[in-house]
Amino acid sequence: MDKVYENLEKVEGQKKIHKIAKSRDKTSKDLTHIKQVKGKNERVVPREESIIARRKKYFEELLNKENPRTIIRDGNPHGRIVQDISREEVKRALNKMKKGKAVGHYGIPAEVWKCLGEEGIDIL
């Protein structure tokens, strides 16, 4: 037992202790895979084939159900003048852009816009 305790005090022994504790914890939990689905009549569906068929039918009904639609006629225009984007707004947006992110619609990375400086702000 002395040799066992000496080995457990080493780094390798600590790893073994963690493995043992983890496996004991895992075996103490009831983590069985539950395959139960209720049918339309609120009863549990017994066989796996029936479960698959029930899930298929459920999602077909869910995803293919036609929702009521309302037709929206021409809306009322607000009649206000919309201001153009200011240089300050463009400058703030450029400062918030992070490097190394995905490119936008035109395929130009943020780094290019930042390198262009004032000319880049004018272009934007």
Give the whole-angstrom CA distance, residue 51 versus residue 36: 7
Encoded tokens for 106: 């035109």
Per-residue pLDDT averaged across 49-63, rounded?
87
Average pLDDT, integer, range 58-79 = 79
If one counts the domains in the chain, the total is 2
Q: Is residue 10 part of a domain?
A: no
Q: Is 20 helix (H, G, I), strand (E, B) or coil?
A: helix
CA distances from 91 to 99, 105, 108, 112 (A): 15, 19, 17, 14
Within a domain: residue 24? no
Contact present, 94 and 75 (Cβ < 8 Å): no
Rounded to two decimals, the pTM is 0.35
Give the model confidence (pLDDT) of 7-54 as tens digits. 778 888 888 888 888 888 887 776 666 677 888 888 888 888 888 888
Paired with 44 in beta bridges are 38
- Is 59 within a domain? yes
In this structure, is residue 49 part of a structural domain?
yes
Per the domain annotation, does 76 fall within a domain?
no
Residue 108's domain comprises: 87-123
pLDDT of amino acid 92 = 92
Average pLDDT of the segment spanning 75-84: 74
95 has a pLDDT exceeding 70: yes
110 inside domain: yes
